[in-house]
C-alpha cells in the first residue's frame, strides 16, 4: 500500500522567512496530493492541493511542487507570519476508495 514520509517533523523560522516541507510517497499510481493545516484542537483544513498532471501550483504565499518521477512533493510558504504556526500534514490519495494516506506532520513555528 501507499506510504508517505514527511520531513522535517519540526520547523522553526523567523517571521518573513520561507518554510519548506517535503514529502515522499511510494505508490506511483497516486494522483492527488493535498496539504492540510491543523491548529491545536481543531480540524485539518485544506490549504492547497495538486494533481499528478500538474508540476506546480501557487496560491498567494503558498505553493506546492510535485516531482512524479522522484515521487516527492513539497509545500513552500513564503513571507511566513505568526499565524502560519500550526501542524501541516501532506497526504497522497491511495486505495480504491479514495483513502488519503497522511504523513506524520510537521510542526511549524514562526517566531515574530
Strands (E), 3-85: 4-7, 10-14, 19-25, 32-38, 45-51, 56-59, 62-67, 72-77
Q: How far is the CB of 95 from other proteins (least distance, A)?
A: 8
**Residues 4, 5, 6, 9: is their CA dihedral positive or negative?**
positive
Binding of other proteins by 99 (CB under 8 A) = yes
x/- track of binding to other proteins for residues 4-43 (CB under 8 A): ----------------------------x-x-x----xxx
Binding region for other proteins (CB under 8 A): 32, 34, 36, 41-46, 49, 51, 89, 93, 97-100, 102-105
Amino acid at each position: 500500500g501507499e506510504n508517505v514520509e514527511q520531513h522535517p517533523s519540526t520547523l522553526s523560522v523567523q517571521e518573513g522567512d520561507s518554510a519548506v516541507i517535503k514529502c515522499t510517497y511510494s505508490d506511483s499510481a497516486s494522483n492527488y496530493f493535498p496539504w492540510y493545516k491543523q491548529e491545536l484542537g481543531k480540524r485539518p483544513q485544506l490549504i492547497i492541493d495538486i494533481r499528478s498532471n500538474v508540476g506546480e501550483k501557487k496560491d498567494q504565499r503558498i505553493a506546492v511542487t510535485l516531482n512524479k518521477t522522484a515521487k516527492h512533493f513539497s509545500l513552500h510558504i513564503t513571507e511566513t507570519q505568526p499565524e502560519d504556526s500550526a501542524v501541516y500534514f501532506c497526504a497522497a490519495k491511495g486505495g480504491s476508495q479514495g483513502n488519503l494516506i497522511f504523513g506524520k506532520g510537521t510542526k511549524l513555528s514562526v517566531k515574530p
